[in-house]
Amino acid sequence: MQGFLQSLRQYAVFDGRSSRAQYWSFTAHAFVLTALLAAADGVLGTMSYTFGLGWLSGLFLLAMTLPTLAVTSRRMHDAGWPGWLALLHLVPAVGSVVVSLAALRRSQPHRNAWGDPPASGSAWRALAVNAVVLAVLAGAGVAALGVLSVRTITAAVKQDGARYRSSGASFGASQPASACVDEVLRPGPEQLPMLALEEQVAKVVLARHWLAGCLAASTGEESRRRLCREVPKDPFGAGPWMAARCQPGHVGARCHGLLEETRAFCHGGPTM
């Protein structure tokens, strides 16, 4: 962490030298923070899957551009190479690999054209400390994202669950029970009015609300009995039946969640 913070303080210092410990501390922390912010973008719906970045992760990477070039320039100086090699970071894919390999070179033990060798302790000790800090940081970030994701999904389901159940009931009012299952499992993005929710879990829960409303409103007692005769009562025996109905093109977890709703409707048990 100290190397990361020191690099931020020297965000525009291209002169002088930086040790391997400082460079890799900065790189590792920046990588973990970018990954956590990208995950947060996914939860918040601010991720652009075209570019592989979202608003949070994109702004963070933009803010890290100058300190990255600065610490890389100083690392090149420390290894005895010109600082302009840091510009290779700007070359897509290959440039960062070349810079990373160059940054592995040992520090020159004597004074060179860019100053005295940077003071550094044990490289192994620095590596161990950074590993612990990064593990704690990553764990805390994942836990926070998990809480945020659950809250986002809960809010979406609470707000839209009744509307989806009503939409399913409107469809089922003029359809046999089997048509509800066929409709909700029909491949394609048009199968349900899913809104712009990114979370797959929220989509599964909302689709189950739709199916529950549809089955409850479906026409004809005989059509319900005919559907339910096909559905195994034993949850352990429902696997083959579910697998047979989940044709290619369906999302596995979503398909099985919807069919479990059908089993609960037919034979009792918790439903949406």
What are the tens digits of pLDDT across the range 148-198? 666 666 665 666 778 888 888 888 888 888 888 888 777 554 444 443 334
Give the pLDDT of residue 193.
Answer: 41
Q: Which segment of 115-119, 185-189, 196-200, 219-223 scores lowest on mean pLDDT? A: 196-200
229 within 8 A of 182, measured Cβ to Cβ: no
For 217, the enclosing helix (H) or strand (E) is helix 200-217
Calculate mean pLDDT across residues 134-138: 67
Calculate mean pLDDT across residues 243-248: 67
53 within 8 A of 61, measured Cβ to Cβ: yes
Q: CB neighbours of 153 closer than 8 A, spacing ≥ 6?
A: 199, 201, 202, 205
* The pair of three-digit structure tokens given for residue 44, joined into one six-digit string: 């918040």
pTM of the model: 0.53
CA distance 209 to 221: 21
54: left (phi over 0), alpha (psi -120 to 50) or beta: beta
- To 10 degrees, the CA torsion angle through 47, 40, 148, 261? 50
End-to-end CA distance of the chain: 47
Spatial CA neighbour of 92 closest among 41, 52, 33, 36? 52
- What are the C-alpha distances in Å from 22 to residues 6, 42, 71, 119, 123? 8, 30, 8, 10, 10
Give the pLDDT of residue 11.
Answer: 84
**SS3 at position 110:** coil
Spatial CA neighbour of 33 closest among 128, 101, 133, 124? 133
Task: Evaluate if residue 114 carries a pLDDT over 60.
Answer: yes
Residue 76's pLDDT band (cuts 50, 70, 90): very high
For 81, the enclosing helix (H) or strand (E) is none
